[in-house]
Chains A and B, each alone.
Chain A
Amino acid sequence: MDALVFYISGILMVASALLVVTRKNPVYSAILLVVFFLLTSLNFLVLRSPFLAVIQVLVYGGAIMVLFVFVLMLLNLTEEELDEKVEPGRKLLAGAGSVLLFVLLAWAINSSERIQAAGDTDLTGPVKESVARAGETREIGEALFSEHILPFEFTSILIFIAIIGAIYLTKTRRADERQATEPAVEQPEESA
C-alpha cells in the first residue's frame, strides 16, 4: 500500500516537474512547483520521515514559494518580457544534455555494488522498535543539538549572512548617495 502511494506520487512528481520547466508563464510554474513539493512531502512520509514531511510543506511550500510568487508580483512581467526567444537548437541541446545526465546517473545506480546489494529490500517494510522513531521530532532534536551542533550553528551564521546580502542587494539608494558612489555610470554627460 505504502509502495503504491510512492509509485503514484513519484510518477506525478516527474510529470509536475516536467510541467514546471516547460510552462511559459512563471505563475503556472510556481503553482505546479507547490504541487511538486506536496508530492515530495508525501514520499517523505512513506520513507518514515514525518518531521521532514511537515517541514517540506512549511518551508518549501510556504516560505520559499511565497518568496517566488512575491517577486513575480513585484516584477509584474509583461507578455513581451516573458517571451524567451530561445532558439530550438538550444532547447534540443539542453534536452539531450539532461537525458545524457539521467542515463549516466542511471548507469551509476545500476552498476554500484552497494546499491545493488540492497536488492529487493523493501523500504516500506517493518523496522525494529529502537530505530522506528529515527525520523521523528524528538530524535532529530537530540541528534541536532548534541552530535551535529557545530554545523547547526554554522547554518545560523549562513542565514544571517544571506539576510544581510539580500537586504543590501535590494536596497534602493537615494539620488545624492548614488551620485557619490557611481558617478561615471549614472551621469556620463555631466562628468565629461
Chain B
Amino acid sequence: MTLSLDLCLYLCAAVFSIGVYGVLSRQNIIVILMSLELMLNGVNLAIISFGRYFITPEGSALSGTGASSSQIFVIIVLAIAAAEAAVGLAILLAVYRRWRSARIGDMRLLKG
C-alpha cells in the first residue's frame, strides 16, 4: 500500500472546504473560530506533505537545513493560530458583555 502526494492534498482540500462550510453556515462565533482552526490544520497538513515529498530516497531536493523548512513553516502557522484564537475569543468575550449575544448575525453595528 502506497501513499501518493496528491492523495494527501485531496485530504487537505477536503478539510479546508469543511472549515469554509463551517465559517459560512454557522452563527455561533465560537464554532466559527473552531472552523478557522480546521482550515489552518488543513493547510498545515498540506505543508507537511510537500515537505515530506521533497525528501526523496536520494536525499533532500533542498540544500542545507532546507529539509526542515516545512516544519518551521508549520511552527509559525501554529503560533499565529494560537494568537488568532486568543484575540478572537477575547473579542467574543467583549462583544458578549456588550450585547449579551454570541450570534454573529446580531453584530450589525457597521452594517450599512
Contact = CB atoms under 8 A, between A and B. Distances in A.
- Chain A contact residues, majority secondary structure: helix
Contacts of B107: none
A175 interface: no
Chain B: interface residue count, which band? 35 or more
Contacts of A84: 26-28, 103
A110 B11 CA distance: 13
A118 B55 contact: no
B57 to A, nearest CB: 6
B14 A139 contact: no
Nearest to B9: A109
B81 A64 contact: yes
B83 interface: yes
Interface residues of A, number: 100
Contacts of B28: 26, 77, 82, 84
B68 A21 contact: no
Contacts of B91: 169
B59 to A, nearest CB: 5
Given A47-B49, A121-B4, A140 B38 contact: no
B21 A48 contact: no
Interface in A15-42: 17-18, 20-21, 26, 29-30, 33, 36-37, 40
4 closest A-B pairs by beta carbon, nearest first, are A21-B22, A94-B24, A162-B83, A134-B67
17 contacts: A20-B38, A21-B38, A47-B51, A71-B30, A71-B89, A75-B93, A106-B10, A115-B5, A115-B9, A118-B6, A120-B4, A121-B5, A121-B56, A123-B8, A134-B67, A162-B87, A169-B87
